[in-house]
Homo-oligomer: A and B are copies of this chain.
Amino acid sequence: MQRLPGFRDFYPEEFAFRNYLFDNWRRVARSFGFVEYDGPTLEPTELYKKKSGEELKTQLFRFVDQGNRDVCMRPEMTPTLARLVAARAREYRKPIKWFSISPFFRFEKPQKGRLREFYQINCDIIGDDSPAADAELIGLAIALHRVFGLTETDFLVRINNRNLWAEFLIKHQQPIERLSEFLSIIDRLEREKEEVTAGKLRSFQLDLAAVREFLGTPPGSVPGFSELFRELQWRGLEGFVQLDLTIVRGLDYYTGLVFEIFDREKENRSLAGGGRYNNLISTISEGETDLPAAGFAIGDVTFTKLLQGLDHTRQRIDYALRTPCGAFIVIADEMRRPEALELAQTLRRSGVIVDYSLQPTKVARQFQQAGTVGAKYAVVIGQEWPQVRVKLLAERTEQILSKDDLSLFLGDN
């Protein structure tokens, strides 16, 4: 009996890492004043039909449920978020700053760094169309990397604005309705052969040289970026970002700013992506609610690979994942088992992590068990009761304490 391909089991060691990742993400997002939300795992397929990119639409876990509804397991968060905000926009002070950490599902070809169920943190600012909001989002995205010890030598934020390419099309007298199609050429520019790209560009009456020249525009002469860069500078983040006109993102709903975060080593793996989607909430609410919005997502798969692949971040992981058992109760006299169980109850209620042997076992074997679960202290209950012998296992020192002092002692240590 096997799990499905592209899905993961999280054994305790793997789950401990997942908790480490999510706890830190959650703490950082909160420190930026973002609050957490979530939506359903299953949504009507309708929600993704017009709004997501072509690629996503072919990758859906889509089916007809027992109630004859066309449904799919969510492939991304943004349409759900837009639905939530559209329904209750008036109830919240703007800008709305929300985040979520949840699983997503895409029927991808199994390959390195791609799974069919994966987790993402999604962060969005809704109701503010300014470069200040864009900078705040990029600042948060960067902080969500730095909290694990990643530095500007480890990752890079590449920024672009889709409007620059819209202007480029207009300047070359090409129809703006074909922007989406044109952007997908730019998206594949670095992965495809020159002649393939050139061929595609011919349908736009454009040549590769003109595109290449535009790609080389120096940052200083790109209009509209100075405010964003000033905002990033104020936050001390200019070393983390770079203008890159090849970044266009695959999703159809982006309207302006787009950005992607890359691993500087390792074939430039993409770690995160996002952008501005000013029309999506209006589309989803059929014009009832119109709010500018921007957001990004970091996926857990590539991100985990990066953290586990670097020495300096791996050390932090090792430290964070050390097993936290506080006390192992060693029952040296089986007559005292009732008192031991009562003590376990008391200590656990005061928040101490307590373990002990469910079965009568030799004392030496109980100390072995204490080691296996990584207990910090062994609390030996025997003839001295109501006093107990407390051993600090790593240092092999011990002291005698009254059972009533134990909660306080273990809570402090």
Contact = CB atoms under 8 A, between A and B. Distances in A.
A35 to B, nearest CB: 4
B44 A11 contact: no
A30 B66 CA distance: 38
A36 B12 contact: yes
Contact of A12 (B19, B41, B98, B139): B98
Interface stretch (A177-185, A300-308, A341-349): A341-349
A358 B11 contact: no
What copy number does this chain have within its complex? 2
Interface residues of A, number: 90
B10 A38 contact: yes
A197 B15 CA distance: 47
A347 to B, nearest CB: 8
The 6 closest A-B pairs by CB, nearest first: A63-B63, A33-B355, A7-B40, A31-B348, A234-B338, A10-B38
A252 interface: no
A44 to B, nearest CB: 6
Contacts of A286: 1
Interface in A351-403: 351-355, 358-359, 369, 372-373
A18 B236 CA distance: 36
A149 interface: no
Contacts of A116: 42
A330 interface: no
A358 B128 contact: yes
A3 B83 contact: yes
Contact of A93 (B16, B37, B369): B369
Which among A5, A27, A348, A369 has the greatest number of chain B C-beta atoms within 10 A?
A: A348
B32 A128 contact: no
Contact of A359 (B16, B65, B132, B342): B132
A47 interface: yes
A154 to B, nearest CB: 17
A11 B88 contact: yes
